[in-house]
Every structure is written in C-alpha cells, then in structure tokens.
Amino acid sequence: MKCLRCEGEMKFITREKIQLGKMGLLLGDLPHLVSGALEVNIYACKSCKKMELFDAGDIFESAQDELPQKTCPHCGERHDFDYPKCPACGYDYYGK
C-alpha cells in the first residue's frame, strides 16, 4: 500500500479497538460500555511517518442499529441493555 502524501510504503503496525462514547458527568463510564468500540488496522508510512487508520471489520454491516446486550444474572438469558426487567424470567434490575 502506498502513502497518500509521499507515495512511500505503508507498513502494518497493529490492530486496535478505539473506544466510542465519552465519559459523562452523571453516568461516568457507562456511555463507554454502551457505545462499544471500533476495531481498526493501523498503518504507518516508512518515509514520512504519517499514520492511517483503516476499518478492521465491516462497519457498514455492523450492528449500529442494535442495542448493546446484557446477560441476566438470574437466568443467563441475553437481551437488550435497556430492558428494566429480564424478558425471559422477569428479574427486576432495579429491585422494585
């Protein structure tokens, strides 16, 4: 692969997950957990040292429209993160 700036050779460095979301004042790190991460391949130019990020998966077919999942501690069923009760067993996450 050639560098877009100097046309030097680009070298694969590593694959990393970039955290999405941001830390909130009221919710703390919860937005990080809900937002997930974007997996990217990092390349660097041997000549000019410019770095480039490339999608490591298929972001166009990812589950962007789906909610994050959680596992019920009572029955082990996986379901959408925003359910106040487990749809399988009725476990109440807020203890009401």
Rounded-to-integer distance, Cα 8 and Cα 42, Å: 16
- Give 5's strand partners: none
Using CA atoms, how far residue 4 sits from 11, 13, 84, in Å, is 13, 17, 49
Could you tell me the pTM of the whole model?
0.49
Can you read off the two tokens belonging to residue 91?
């476990």
Rounded-to-integer distance, Cα 24 and Cα 37, Å: 17
Q: What is the pLDDT of residues 4-62, one digit of tens each?
A: 899 999 999 999 888 776 666 666 666 666 667 788 899 999 999 999 988 887 655 54
What does the pLDDT read at residue 94? Answer: 82
Domain boundaries, the chain: 1-57, 67-96
What does the pLDDT read at residue 58? Answer: 61
Using CA atoms, how far residue 93 sits from 1, 36, 56, 77, in Å, is 50, 21, 35, 13
